Structure 1
């Protein structure tokens, strides 16, 4: 099929099916059933088997009419990771519900002593027949209180170096032995949680990838996550969809009478340039990524997103002037400036800190010498703890 024929097919389907008033769940189910949710995936997994360039044609037609639901083969990191590494039984049971947004998910990666260095996780999973018993603590976990499943990295072998003894699981959250405690943020929200796991259980069929080979699975999952966050930066939104950039900042500059200020115009132009270059890097990364692999270029998009959000907050604060010292419903301009300035740090940490992204870019893209790791080749049981 060529692009023109596909475009006509998608347009005709949308003309017959799309209605903005249609219930979201019903609409998403129709998109999944038609194979448009993940058009690059095989038909047996709810796709159309299209090459990447034709997948973009589908997305363009959906965007043209403002219809959601497609592009999940690029943006649904949970379903994409399960498709790549899960067994057929697990895929048959969960990929459809994940695409239809019938399953709530979270990421059980970071720990109090394993944030920037995820390979240092100490949450342990011990095999017990056809299941694993999990004990440990995770932190900075979004959506943990409502999640049905969590993507869990756990230590399964303590006698090999740290990167080689990790296994990746799709962990059931609704069970005894899982305690979730919210963490209050500087913005007075509580998007993150601590999760305590005490003799919790995960079936072996929920393992993604081979035993002790979870580090590679994690790298692929992180690449999907960084791709999503980088795309959101290119679209001008932060990780929660709350920070409008671009046109909104231009409108604010006009409102406060500073649109002709050369410094303000330079700030706005700098942000536009960052978004444009980030878009190019996203395209470059996606051209390099094949199913089941990862791309270090994704770190450029993730870092660009963080930079854009901090820049947006800085420019907004400058435009607000003395009003930025105020907050609350009676001063919406200052309130928004304050919130965005604080919330920008959310993306400097989530999905891998800015410092980690710079290390990846330096080592894997620029070819700079690697940071020294004295414990890299030691059995993890011999690694010193602070």
Structure 2
């Protein structure tokens, strides 16, 4: 059965007044003080107030994306989803399922994904296929109506509490690397899935390595056509970069706000050099924030494109520069770290932890979601239209590539 990507939901005439009226009607039937949080969230999804730009019946009403902010304001103080723990499902899996999933897949996965009843992770990178994802070696071999998967994935955030994963595997080694991959939803509770923690520079295990040994997945867990996995993955990757670098922020918010607060509250730490650097980074943060506003306006009428790579690149550079400035400003106090003990971590916490954590964790920002070096190539080629780098392996069958 052909499974072509569906077009984005067409906006209908749903304005701000109509959205507010829908929220009022929803609250009249679902008192947040008297309704259990899981039931409240399920009812909110069914009322089309999860993602307003999604189609009717799939958590939305086909409205303009920016009207989601109206919903969030109207429902402030009611039970909320755990955005941090659910980031991969919300920012990457959901838009990919919406674009390439069958109607049955959309109905099966989107509701429990949004309510947080089922957490998602991402099985893309491998020990030998990080920056060049298309060289991945995890194999999926078809046996009747099932696929048997063997391989290893790495840097898998949240795999230790995930129910499902979005996964790309090689299904045809006889064609060039970009053409022999297929995209799947992987059952993280299936026999043969083993999750092992990876300790990070912060001392905790926020991500993992995942071993897949003879994992059997039914064909109805495939997203898109066989061999079309690279195209499906591009939808995930473009959304991932927007999710990481293009999240809404107020002026003076984010890490620049934390550093500025330290500057205001600790006059004894101030020097002329630090002041000039902070001003420079404040301007960069504001330019990045405004660029994010423009990007989200573009998203309101379409799907993410390569421009999101620029936002993610700027986010990583700013976080690293600001966290470094904060540690330098605090001098020896900035070298303190709150907890070196090894433990599982649920989410990234840039604002609930100290400057030592922010400095160490920011080092990963230029790797996760696409390395800064690869993002610069994407921006050069797909945004600026510059000539691409020579690729000698472009038309070579994957099986013949040196490894």
Q: What's the TM-score, normalizing by structure 2?
A: 0.83
Is residue 162 from structure 1 mapped to residue 177 from structure 2 by the alignment?
yes
Q: Answer whether contact 1:159 1:381 (CA < 8 A) is retained.
A: yes
Tell me how far 1:306 sits from its aligned partner: 0.7
Total equivalences in the alignment: 374
Q: Give the match for residue 311 of structure 2.
A: 301
- Asked whether 1:249 is paired with 2:262, we answer no
Distance 2:25 2:318 in 1: 37
Q: Does 1:195 align with 2:202?
A: no
The answer as to whether partners of 1:41 and 1:48 remain within 8 angstroms in 2 is: yes
Give the 3 Å change call, closer, same or farther, for CA 56–325 of structure 1 in structure 2: closer
The alpha carbon displacement at 1:60 in A equals 5.1
Look up the match of 2:321. Answer: 311
Whether contact under 8 Å (1:164, 1:212) holds in the other structure is: yes
**Which structure's relative contact order is higher, taking Cα pairs within 8 Å and 6+ residues apart?**
2
Q: Which blocks of at least 5 consecutive residues in structure 2 are unaligned?
A: 1-12, 340-352
Deviation digits for residues 234-281 of structure 1 (CA, Å, limit 9, x no counterpart): 4699xxxxx952333222113321586544443333333333322333
Q: Structure 1 184/216 Cα, relative in aligned 2: closer, same or farther at 3 Å?
A: same
Instruction: Check if 1:38 corresponds to 2:51.
Output: yes
After TM superposition, what 4+ stretches of structure 1 lie above 6 angstroms from structure 2? none
Partner of residue 79 from structure 1, selected from 90, 94, 103:
94
Distance in 1 between residues matched to 2:383 and 2:19, nearest whole Å = 36
Kindly report the root-mean-square deviation, in angstroms, between the aligned alpha carbons of the 2 structures.
Answer: 3.1
- Structure 1 portions without partners, runs of 5+: 238-242, 330-334
> What's 1:347 paired with?
365
Between the aligned partners of 1:234 and 1:185, the Cα distance in structure 2 is: 27
Change (3 A) 1:21 1:221: farther
In structure 2, the CA distance between the partners of 1:107 and 1:258, relative to structure 1 (3 Å rule), is same
The one of 17, 22, 33 aligned to 1:5 = 17
1:281 to 280, 284, 291: 291
1:179-194 aligned at under 5 Å gives the runs 179-194=194-209
CA distance in 1, matches of 2:320, 2:23: 38
Name the SS for the 1:364 alignment partner.
helix
The correspondence of residues 122-161 of structure 1 with structure 2, limited to 5 A, is: 122-161=137-176
Pair 1:58 & 2:71 matched: yes
- State yes or no: 1:324 paired with 2:334: yes
Give the Cα separation in 1 of the matches to 2:66 and 2:16: 12
Q: Secondary structure at the match of 1:45?
A: coil
* Secondary structure of 1:95 counterpart: helix
Counterpart CA distance in 1 for 2:193 and 2:203 is 25
Could you tell me how far 1:174 is from its partner in structure 2? Answer: 0.4
Give the corresponding residue for 1:381. 399
Residue in 1 aligned with 2:237?
222
Preserved CA contact (<8 Å) 1:31 1:70: no
Question: Secondary structure at 1:162's aligned position in 2?
Answer: coil
CA contact (8 A) 1:106 1:144 kept: yes
Partners of 1:232 and 1:305 within 8 A in 2: no
C-alpha distance in 2 between matches for 1:355 and 1:170: 29
Question: 1:4/1:200 Cα in 2 relative to 1: closer, same or farther (>3 Å)?
Answer: closer
**1:129, distance to aligned residue in structure 2 (A):** 0.8
Residue of structure 1 equivalent to 2:115: 100
SS in structure 2 at match of 1:246 = helix
Q: Please give the alpha-carbon distance, in whole angstroms, between the structure 2 residues aligned to 1:268 and 1:32.
A: 42
Give the drift of 1:82. Answer: 1.0
User: How does 1:114-129 map onto structure 2 within 5 Å?
Assistant: 114-129=129-144
Between Structure 1 and Structure 2, the one with more helix by share is 1
Q: Deviations over 1:315-373 (max 9, x none)?
A: 211220122233347xxxxx822222111122211111111111111111122221221
CA distance in 2 between partners of 1:232 and 1:183 (Å): 27
Normalising to structure 1: TM-score of the pair?
A: 0.86
Decide whether aligned partners of structure 1 residues 352 and 233 sit closer, same or farther in structure 2, where only a CA change above 3 A counts: farther
